Every structure is written in structure tokens, then in C-alpha cells.
């Protein structure tokens, strides 16, 4: 589809206002205006004026020199929103609401006649989350909460490729709907690469306070079992960005060296392994009155029977993995980071990681060799990574202006010594750069740069099995992108 226009941005804001008023009432909307007006109408415009327009180009950081004004503005707004998202009674999380993104995608798709998306459709893998039970005695494999993106006309054949994409921030706010347009474009490009019937599955994860480790990991594990056992002949790609990429790496480590004792029948015992944060946050950011475990959908519960089902499964590694800007260590601080230079461009900071850790990692969790299950950057055991490494290789992509780039550089050296790894440190970009570019750039070439590159590398890894992009006897290019020039 076409780039976001000014009209699209206006409609997005109208949808956001509509959702917050209908779900939380006018007072919540007034609270949002009051809490964000100073930043939105004074601080942010001054920042753009002084640092993008007035400041000489040669004195701007690399990210500011390269990006569009919209990308710069969105990155600053993201930083402010994410830092305040856990403030009690702050409804700003509505901007990441699944309902908002679902309505906005439908508006853009119908307004543009699904331009460039072909016959790609998306659908839930379940009807009612509360209707799914882990304790069913049925031998049939039950679907898990999530979202399928696939081709309608190719649905009569088996999938030959499935991308298991773990959403970013899903345990805090948002959900898979934000990714529908991005991954639909990705799917079209994979079809152009030669895959017959590729599909994408995005699991829906429990939200805080129910997302405390290890519940999120267990649910991702169940989703992985679901897609691999229901599509045994398909090649698989494990994907994720930011916190989703973190869980993807944790999933790799768990499949390589499983330890089901960390789940310990949390919801059977009603114990304290999954404690409640002091200020639980609802989907709209409002403080909940209390945490009621009985209201947790059964599909998200960890019981003895659900653990036995997953433990008895033959969990296999993905064929390859696409890891975008992972958070390697939830315990990192500003003093621990090796960051050098000006990283004010990035919207991910140690302070934000600390906020996320308090929502995701139990306070009483002690450091142990199992830390890789929640902070994969803490695992430096090469033998453990060797057991967990995808057989066809791994793609690691991040921005050169990320705050935690030194940690990512160090991690890339580790995994490059384990197996075939494509490391893409994108120059003058920041955290989760593919998503940021896709929704802020003005030309199709810039918007789709990441998915164009990733689809080419994945096809080379899984379909063509060549070190170079083209087969030795090939006469015609498979892709107009000369991928061997920069992405070998």
C-alpha cells in the first residue's frame, strides 16, 4: 500500500479518540490530553525546530541526518510515550491498542483497494480466548490465541513456509494487529521469491500482570508446538523485533536445552512464582482495581496438564531465525552499558528497560545459569547456543545508532562463531528500524527496504541453498535487488 499521508495520520488520531472514549469514557480522554498536551504542543515541536531545522546539518547525529522529519518526530514521540506508559492512570497506551490498529488497517486497506497486497488475508486462530482450555482431554491439537496472515487463493495447498513472528511489547501493550500491513507486504515478497504458500502466525501473549516470566515464554512455546505440529512439512522461520526478538532467542535456548521445571505448575499451585506488580496496567493504561487470577483466560494458564502436553511434544528448532533489535539483558543499567558517543536518537534507554524488567521479571528471581530463558544476552555458553542454533542460519539486524549497539555487536560475534549468521548493522538507524521505516518513509523503496532484503536472504537460505544469491547456472536475476553487493 501507499505511504502514510496526512489524512491517514488524522484518521488514526480520530480512531484513537473514538476508542478511548468508547472504552474508558470522556474522562480518560481528558486525562490523556492533560498529561500529554505540554509535551505534544510545546516540547516536541521545539525539539523538531531546534534539532532538525535550526541546528546545522553537520552537527546533527547520523540518525537525524538520514531520517525524514516524520521519522524523527515519531521516534521522539515513541520515547516519551514508552517512558510514561507505566504511570498510574495514564491512558496513553491506547495508541498501541489492538482495536486501534485493527480499525486503522481496515481503513487504509479499503481506501486503497488492498493495493499491493494481492489476496493476502488475516484471521484469528481462535474464536473466544476464554473458550480455549489447556485441560481438554481431546487428542487433537488445539489452536492458540493469535493471528494468521496467509494467501486466500493458495489455502487449498499445504504451507511450505511459516513465519512465527513474536510481536514487540505484546506483554505490556498492543498486539499482533500492529504488524498486519508490514507482514502482509513481507508475505507478498516471499511469494515473489518462489515460495508456493507462505504464511505468518503471530501469537497473542498475555498482558501484565499475567505476563510475568515464565508465562510469556510458555505461551510462545505452546504456539511453536501448535504451528510445527499442525504444519509438519513446512519450513519455519522464527522472527521477532525488540522484546519479541528477546523471547524468540529465549525460545531457541529453551528448545536447545529444555527445562520444564521453571514453569512449576504456576496456576495449579496458585503460588508466588508469578507475582503481581504493585500497579497493574489495563489495556488502556488505567490502573486495575485488583488482580484476579480467575479472570485470566484458560488458554494463558500454566497447569500440570498443559506442561505435560508441551513436554511430550517433539519440539524442533526453526530452520532459520530473523532477529531484529533484541533486548539482550533486562538487568543492564546505564553504568553497565558500553555505549559510546551520542545515542540520544534512540528511543530505547536503560531507564525504559528497567521499567520493563519490573513488569516482566519477578523480583525474587535469582541469577542462575537459566537466565538465558529471560535475558538471552546473559548466556555466553557456546555449547548451549550450538544446541539452539537454527540449522539454516540466523539473521541478526539492528541499527548502528541503537543505545545498546555495543552489546549487540558483542552478541553478533558470539553467534557468528556458532553457525552461519547474516549480521546487518544498518547505518544511521535506531531500534526496530524496519518497522519505523515502514510507517514513516515516503517512497515504496524506502518503506519496503527491510522486507525486500529479508525475503531475499530467507529465500537464499531455505529455497536456493546457495552461498551467493544466484545459482551458478542462473541467467536471469531472481530479484531486482543486487543482494550480493551488500548482503552476502
The label of the residue with cell 521516534 reads 75
Distance CA 266, CA 282 (A): 22
SS3 per residue for 7-35: HHHHHHHHHHHHHHHHHHCHHHHHHHHHH
Which residues are registered as beta bridge partners of 323?
A: 240, 396
What's the pLDDT tens digit per position in 1-21? 888 999 999 999 999 999 889
Neighbours of 288 (CB within 10 A): 14
Residues 398, 281: Cα–Cα separation, whole Å: 29
pLDDT digits (tens, 9 = 90+) for 456-470: 999 988 986 655 444
CB 72 within 8 A of CB 440: no
DSSP string, 336-367: T----S--TT-S--HHHHHHHHHHHS-TTPPP
Fold for the domain defined by 119-486: Rossmann fold (3.40.50)
- For residue 276, what pLDDT is reported? 38
Q: Are 462 and 161 in contact (CB under 8 A)?
A: yes
Residue 123, helix vs strand vs coil: strand
Query: In the chain, which residues have pLDDT < 70?
Result: 86-91, 125-143, 169-174, 208-209, 265-298, 334-343, 366-369, 464-488
pLDDT attached to residue 267: 60
- In the chain, where the domains are located: 119-486
pLDDT value at residue 190: 93
For residue 138, what pLDDT is reported?
Answer: 40
pLDDT at 170: 52
Per-residue confidence (pLDDT) for residue 367, from 0 to 100: 66
Q: Which residues pair with 165 in a beta bridge?
A: 239
Q: Where are the alpha helices (DSSP H) in 168-242?
A: 180-193, 215-230
Round to whole Å and give the CA distance between 419 and 405. 21
Given a contact cutoff of 8 angstroms between Cβ atoms, the answer to whether 210 and 296 are in contact is yes
* Strands annotated E in 120-243: 120-124, 146-151, 161-166, 198-203, 235-241
Model-level pTM? 0.87
Task: Give yes or no for a contact between 440 and 71, defined as CB atoms under 8 angstroms apart.
Answer: yes
Amino acid at each position: 500500500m501507499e505511504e502514510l499521508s496526512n489524512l491517514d495520520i488524522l484518521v488514526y488520531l480520530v480512531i484513537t479518540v473514538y476508542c478511548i472514549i468508547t472504552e474508558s469514557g470522556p474522562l480518560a480522554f481528558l486525562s490523556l490530553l492533560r498529561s500529554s498536551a505540554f509535551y505534544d504542543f510545546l516540547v516536541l515541536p521545539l525539539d523538531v525546530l531546534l534539532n532538525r531545522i535550526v541546528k546545522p546539518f553537520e552537527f546533527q547525529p547520523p540518525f537525524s541526518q538520514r531520517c525524514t522529519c516524520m521519522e524523527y518526530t515519531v521516534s521522539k514521540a515513541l520515547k516519551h510515550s514508552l517512558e510514561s506508559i507505566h504511570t498510574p492512570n495514564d491512558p496513553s497506551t491506547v495508541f498501541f491498542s489492538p482495536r486501534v490498529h485493527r480499525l486503522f488497517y481496515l481503513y487504509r486497506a479499503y481506501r486503497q483497494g488492498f493495493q499491493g497486497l494481492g489476496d493476502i488475508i488475516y484471521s484469528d486462530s481462535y474464536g473466544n480466548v476464554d473458550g480455549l482450555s489447556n485441560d481438554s482431554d481431546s487428542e487433537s491439537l488445539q489452536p492458540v490465541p493469535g493471528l494468521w496472515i496467509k494467501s486466500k487463493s493458495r489455502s487449498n495447498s499445504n504451507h511450505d513456509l511459516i513465519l512465527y513472528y513474536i510481536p514487540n511489547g505484546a506483554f505490556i501493550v498492543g498486539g499482533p494487529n500492529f504488524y498486519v500491513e508490514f507482514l502482509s507486504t513481507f508475505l507478498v515478497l516471499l511469494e515473489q521469491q518462489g515460495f508456493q504458500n507462505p504464511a505468518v502466525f503471530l501469537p497473542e501473549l498475555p498482558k501484565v500482570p499475567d505476563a510475568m516470566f515464565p508465562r510469556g515464554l510458555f505461551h510462545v512455546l505452546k504456539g511453536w508446538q501448535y504451528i510445527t505440529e499442525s504444519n509438519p512439512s513446512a519450513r519455519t522461520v522464527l522472527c521477532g523485533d525488540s522484546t519479541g526478538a528477546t523471547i524468540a532467542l529465549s525460545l531457541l535456548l529453551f528448545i536447545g536445552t529444555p527445562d520444564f521445571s521453571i514453569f512449576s505448575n504456576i496456576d495449579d499451585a496458585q503460588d508466588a512464582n508469578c507475582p503481581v506488580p504493585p500497579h497493574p496496567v489495563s489495556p488502556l493504561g488505567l490502573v486495575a482495581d485488583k488482580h484476579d487470577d480467575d479472570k485470566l483466560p484458560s488458554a494463558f494458564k500454566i497447569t500440570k496438564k498443559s506442561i505435560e502436553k508441551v513436554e511430550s511434544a517433539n519440539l524442533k528448532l526453526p530452520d532459520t531465525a530473523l532477529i531484529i533489535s533484541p533486548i539482550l539483558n533486562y538487568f543492564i543499567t546505564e553504568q553497565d552499558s558500553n555505549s559510546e558517543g551520542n545515542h540520544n536518537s534512540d528511543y530505547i534507554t536503560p531507564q525504559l528497560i528497567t521499567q520493563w524488567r519490573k513488569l516482566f521479571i519477578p523480583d525474587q528471581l535469582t541469577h542462575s545459569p537459566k537466565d538465558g530463558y529471560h535475558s538471552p544476552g546473559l548466556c555466553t555458553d557456546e555449547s548451549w547456543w550450538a544446541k539452539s542454533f537454527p540449522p539454516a542460519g540466523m539473521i541478526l539486524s539492528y541499527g548502528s545508532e541503537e543505545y545498546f549497539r555495543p552489546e549487540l555487536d558483542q552478541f553478533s560475534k558470539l553467534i557468528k562463531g556458532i553457525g552461519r549468521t547474516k549480521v546487518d548493522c544498518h547505518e544511521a538507524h535506531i531500534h526496530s528500524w524496519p518497522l519505523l521505516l515502514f510507517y514513516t518513509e515516503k517512497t515504496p523503496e524506502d518503506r519496503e527496504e527491510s522486507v525486500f532484503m529479508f525475503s531475499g536472504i530467507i529465500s537464499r537460505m531455505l529455497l536456493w541453498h546457495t552461498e551467493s544469491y544466484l545459482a551458478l547456472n542462473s541467467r536471469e536475476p531472481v530479484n531486482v535487488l543486487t543482494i550480493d553487493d551488500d548482503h552476502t
